[in-house]
Amino acid sequence: MFSLSSLEKNNTSVSTEILAGVSSFLATAYIIVVNPSILSQTGMPFSAVLTATVLVSFFSSMMMGLYANNPILVAPGMGLNAFFTFSAVLTDKLSWQVALGTVFWSGIFFLLLSIFNIRSYIVKAIPKPLRYAIASGIGLFITLIGFSNAKFIVPSPATMVTLGNLNAATLTFIAGLLITVFLLIRNIKGGILIGIIVTSLLAWPIGRWWGGTEPLVEFGNLIAMPDFSLIFQLDLVNSLKWSLAPIILAFVFTDMFDSLSTFVGLAEASNLLDENGEPKNIRKSLIVDAFSTTIAGLAGSSPGTAYIESAVGIEQGGKTGLTAIAGAVLFLPFLFLSPLLSAIPAIATAPALVLVGVFMMKPVVKIDWNQLHEAFPAFLAMVLIPFTYSITQGIIWGFLSWTTLHILTGRVRKISLALWIIDAFAVLALIF
pLDDT for the residue numbered 120: 64
Q: 3-class SS at 406? A: helix
Distances (CA, A) of 283 to 27, 105, 114, 248, 419: 25, 20, 7, 22, 18
CA-CA distance, 24 to 12, in Å (whole number)?
Answer: 17
Say how many domains are in the chain.
1
pLDDT for the residue numbered 288: 92
One digit per residue, the tens of pLDDT, for the chain of length 432 reads: 777 777 878 788 899 999 999 989 988 888 887 888 889 889 999 889 999 999 999 999 999 999 999 999 999 987 788 889 888 898 888 999 999 999 999 999 988 888 887 766 766 778 889 988 988 888 898 899 889 889 999 999 999 999 999 999 999 999 999 999 999 899 787 788 788 889 988 998 887 777 766 777 776 667 778 889 999 999 999 998 888 887 887 788 778 777 877 887 788 766 777 777 777 787 888 889 999 999 999 999 999 999 988 888 888 888 889 999 999 999 999 898 766 655 678 888 889 889 888 988 888 999 999 999 999 999 999 999 889 887 778 888 999 999 999 999 999 998 988 889 888 878 887 876
Q: Give the length of the chain.
A: 432
Q: 3-class SS at 337? A: helix
pLDDT for the residue numbered 119: 65
pLDDT for the residue numbered 260: 76
Q: 3-class SS at 160? A: strand
pLDDT for the residue numbered 357: 87
Domain enclosing residue 277, as ranges: 5-226+239-362
Q: Does residue 432 lie within any of the structural domains?
A: no
Q: 3-class SS at 96? A: helix
Per the CB < 8 A criterion, the answer to whether 2 and 69 are in contact is yes
CA-CA distance, 407 to 361, in Å (whole number)?
Answer: 29
Q: Does residue 281 lie within any of the structural domains?
A: yes
pTM value is 0.75
Q: Does residue 21 lie within any of the structural domains?
A: yes
Per the CB < 8 A criterion, the answer to whether 45 and 229 are in contact is yes
Q: Hey, what amino acid is at 266?
A: L
Q: Does residue 233 lie within any of the structural domains?
A: no
Q: Does residue 431 lie within any of the structural domains?
A: no
C-alpha atoms less than 13 angstroms from C-alpha of 58 in its C-beta half-sphere: 15
CA-CA distance, 427 to 432, in Å (whole number)?
Answer: 9
CA-CA distance, 271 to 380, in Å (whole number)?
Answer: 23
Residue 51 makes CB contacts below 8 A (sequence gap 6+) with 226, 227, 228, 230, 300, 335
Per the CB < 8 A criterion, the answer to whether 144 and 386 are in contact is yes
pLDDT for the residue numbered 432: 64
CA-CA distance, 176 to 198, in Å (whole number)?
Answer: 7
φ, ψ at 88 (rounded to 5°): -65, -45
Q: Does residue 101 lie within any of the structural domains?
A: yes
Q: Does residue 61 lie within any of the structural domains?
A: yes
Per the CB < 8 A criterion, the answer to whether 385 and 138 are in contact is yes
Residue 166: closest CA among 178, 156, 183, 153: 153
Q: Does residue 29 lie within any of the structural domains?
A: yes
